[in-house]
Structures are given as structure tokens and as C-alpha cells.
Amino acid sequence: MFFYGVKTTGIFCRSSCKSKTPVRDNVTFFDKAAEAIELGFRPCKRCRPDQLVFEPDLELIKKAKDIFDTDYNKQIDLSQISKQLGLSINHLIRLFKQHSGLTPTRYIAKRRVEKAAELLNQTDINILEISYTTGFKSLSNFYKCFKEETGHTPNEYRKSRGG
């Protein structure tokens, strides 16, 4: 692999970068990223030549997980998130499952159940309120997801934990 620096912008890229092809006269080639940095070139934000391993898919999945972990209690619109990440909804679902082993919907449900279990353990909030607080649209959906994830109904879970 080699790197190239663009003299007019002061940025260097991996040979595989998808950025616009620069004018040949403005390009300098390097065997190592360190050479480009030493000469004052900044790393491209698209191809990240300064990182040993560049996996743009992992960056996108991390961003998606951050959104899901923060907004688990809200109604999450995957089409909006996929647009925000610059992906089609099908590509987001495929990448997410490939890297996490779960679909985004399953990941969000799992996160909601984790938070609900925490609330069942640590508070006396009624189950209906917990279901809505954690983002479930209906009590029946909450019970179904909770039992799938923990093997217990919310009532059984609370009683078994002394809550």
C-alpha cells in the first residue's frame, strides 16, 4: 500500500481513498503515512490513513450504537438514522447484524429490556410506567420482549430480585 499527499490541500490519503482524484502535478507519493505527517500533511478524514486498520463500517456501526444507546427510550426511526449515516436502511441493517450479531430492532429491544430490568430491580415504579419509560409502545410488547430476553415476566423478575 502507498499513500499520496495533495500539495494544494496539505492532506494525504490511502491509495484506495474515494475522494476526488487530484491533479497529478499536485501529488506527492509516500511509502509510509509517517513520511507524509513528517512533511506536514494532515490525514484525510474520509480514508483515515493515520490509522493502522481502517474499517469505515465499524465507525458507522459505532455511531448507530451510540444513537441507539442514547435514544433507546424514544421511538427510533431507522430510515432517519440510515440517512443520517449516509446508508440505505437495508445496508444499515445488514452491516449492523454483520458486526453485532443482532438487527438494529433487536439491539434496541435488548437495550430497553436491560434498562427495564434495572428499574425493576432498583425502583418501585409500576410495570406499565416502566414499559413506556423504556420506549415500548405497548405493555404486551414489553412483556413479550422482556420474557424473550430474561426468561421471566417483569412481575416474576421483580419478585425474584426482591424488588
Measured at the CA of 28, the angle between CA 26 and CA 33, to 5 degrees, comes to: 135
* Interacting residues of 1 by C-beta distance below 8 A, sequence separation 6+: 14, 15, 16
Catalytic residue among 13, 17, 44, 145: 13
Measured at the CA of 37, the angle between CA 35 and CA 42, to 5 degrees, comes to: 140
> Is 13 in the active site?
yes
CA distances from 15 to 11, 29, 35, 80, 83 (A): 13, 9, 15, 32, 27
- Pairing type for strands 42-43 and 11-14 reads parallel
- Active-site residues: which are they? 13
